[in-house]
Chain A
């Protein structure tokens, strides 16, 4: 199969699972089902998971495609350092968040989906992957070379004097002086 990037798939799954969790929670709270407190927790957990999973990680090799507007999320997630970079932490966090959803029918789907995402994150962590932020590359500004500050010491090379002759009748419009006198029809 080759080298599969499990983390990328787990990221998509966790994002979708967060949305499902939050939607199930909203329906549970709105319908005032029994155990709507679990649904309220589901909304909070779903939103948190969405925010955590929105910024995509940089790929191991190949071009990484950002999600629209993910830069501010990248900065926030990156600020937590090893807590968010390590996929073992993410796997256990998702597993812990999904458990309360199993107690209520509206959120049980979110629970199962988040559980699957957590398992795939575990697989990614076992394969040694970790989260890398996609930060814009700050290229050093194109600096003009230092030699521009030193004007040339010597004049540019010119052809030898024999070739620098110009016609005698056009002496007044000549751009430079003839070092040797010229005569017509030479």
Chain B
């Protein structure tokens, strides 16, 4: 979760190859796996401690009183007093409580429905780590610190011979022939040195440093919102200006370029956070594409990032397939913008762009960009560079893009869902012996279908490599 560090590692091309970058993209999956492992082993740990309590109570040792954790033999199983809660593990109970709160709030449906619950409970991790470091300080587990002066099997010289015989008899048959040494002093026991903090504090310090750096960076330069544009299908584009902000294509759409230092994001108004924002941003009149008055007053916006994403890899393949579902087109919009500025400098030779939407109006978000890029490539005599397919999954009624200037799009519009197998066959046949990068940003169904198709690829000449973009 040290995103700046991961972005830095990702960005340094000399240090990491493509396979390592793809591994770094799985950082969130790794985090989830660690969390689940912690929960499972906590359950095992707690159960083991409970069983351990029985052992401490049953095997209460009168010979070595320093070793005991129980206060008398049979403390746990006997019942004379009604409620004798024998509670050495307060830190343990607190740890499990915090873990319980964090774990129950991180399920997928909670993240989707109310992200704030997830965010605020997950920030309890700092409490978890602090308590974890003092958890071992209870000292239940001990070791003997004076083995040289009191070796195992030695006899006490001031005890009766009956005790010595009993002690000797307990050791088993091996010690019956061994010479009996005399104990020089009583056995002393010390708790083990707590080592948890050694393992935990280094990554914790790294994470705290990273959060501090991100906080400083995001609050150092203020962000001014330059303009707000409202698009059809309840999408709002915010164009902002921040000095020293250098994102790569694939991270925001559109990117700052040499001519235009503003960057923008497209927001789909879905939940109450986005709705609240829209209330505060004044718009002149809500029509299809209205450029609104600039404003610089509330609400204050801080921008954290930029962070690397798999979509940056689009330019590192010779052939790429970008599949976007609905509002998921925004990472690719920046890719298209970068190609529009200068397509020659990249390794990419051919781009297949598939955009699936439920509503016809959604295609108007980036219609100008697509048509502009097509025209630019046509003029530069590379008409096969960009292959666009638009799919409208809502099959009701007669729908088409009727504007004359969007004829490029209307002729590539298909009604119905895309048939991925056919698309893959077509791409495979046209690009044999090449490695095609597949990028998907959309609903899980599409993502899963593409992933299985890439891995079970029957085209042995073309290799499809799947790069997954994940949100939430």
Chain A positions near chain B (C-beta within 8 angstroms): 1-5, 8-9, 12-13, 15-17, 20, 23-24, 27-28, 31-35, 56, 59, 62, 65, 103, 105-106, 108-109, 112-113, 116
Contact = CB atoms under 8 A, between A and B. Distances in A.
Contacts of A17: 100
B96 interface: yes
28 contacts: A2-B116, A2-B271, A3-B272, A4-B116, A4-B117, A9-B104, A9-B105, A9-B110, A9-B114, A12-B107, A13-B100, A13-B101, A15-B104, A27-B50, A32-B54, A32-B77, A34-B76, A56-B109, A59-B113, A62-B113, A103-B83, A105-B50, A105-B86, A105-B87, A108-B85, A113-B97, A113-B100, A116-B97
A23 B101 CA distance: 18
B76 A33 contact: yes
A177 B206 CA distance: 92
Interface of B: 43, 46-47, 50-51, 53-54, 76-79, 83, 85-87, 93, 96-97, 100-101, 103-105, 107-110, 112-114, 116-117, 271-273, 276
Contact of B79 (A2, A31, A35, A113): A35
A124 to B, nearest CB: 12
B97 A16 contact: no
Contacts of B273: 2
A101 to B, nearest CB: 12
Contacts of B114: 2, 4-5, 8-9
By CB atoms of chain B within 10 A, which of A23, A31, A62, A112 has the most?
A: A31
A12 B116 contact: no
Contacts of B77: 32-34
A9 B51 contact: no
B46 A109 contact: yes
Given A105-B50, A105-B85, A109-B93, A34 B78 contact: yes
Given A5-B113, A35-B79, A116-B101, A105 B53 contact: yes
A111 B108 CA distance: 25
Contacts of B51: 27, 31
Given A8-B109, A65-B108, A106 B116 contact: no
Contact of B93 (A16, A28, A108, A116): A108
A181 B96 CA distance: 99
A27 B47 contact: yes
Interface of B is mostly: helix
Contacts of A31: 50-51, 54
A112 B113 contact: no
Nearest to B84: A34
Given A27-B47, A31-B50, A33-B54, 19 more contacts: A2-B276, A9-B110, A9-B114, A9-B117, A12-B104, A17-B100, A23-B43, A28-B50, A31-B51, A31-B54, A33-B50, A33-B77, A59-B113, A65-B112, A105-B50, A105-B53, A108-B93, A109-B96, A112-B93
A112 B83 CA distance: 17
Nearest to A13: B104
Nearest to B46: A109
Nearest to A16: B104
The 6 A-B residue pairs with the shortest CB-CB distance in the complex, in nearest-first order: A2-B272, A12-B104, A4-B114, A13-B104, A34-B79, A16-B104
A3 B76 CA distance: 48
A24 B93 CA distance: 13
A4 B111 CA distance: 11
A45 to B, nearest CB: 17
Contacts of A106: 50
B312 to A, nearest CB: 31
A1 B210 CA distance: 27
A103 B113 CA distance: 37
A23 B50 CA distance: 12
Nearest to A32: B77
Contact of B110 (A12, A109, A116): A12
A34 B78 CA distance: 6
Contacts of A2: 114, 116, 271-273, 276
Contacts of B108: 65
A2 B112 CA distance: 14
A108 to B, nearest CB: 7
Nearest to B78: A34
B116 A1 contact: yes
Nearest to A59: B113
By CB atoms of chain A within 10 A, which of B50, B86, B105, B113 has the most?
A: B113
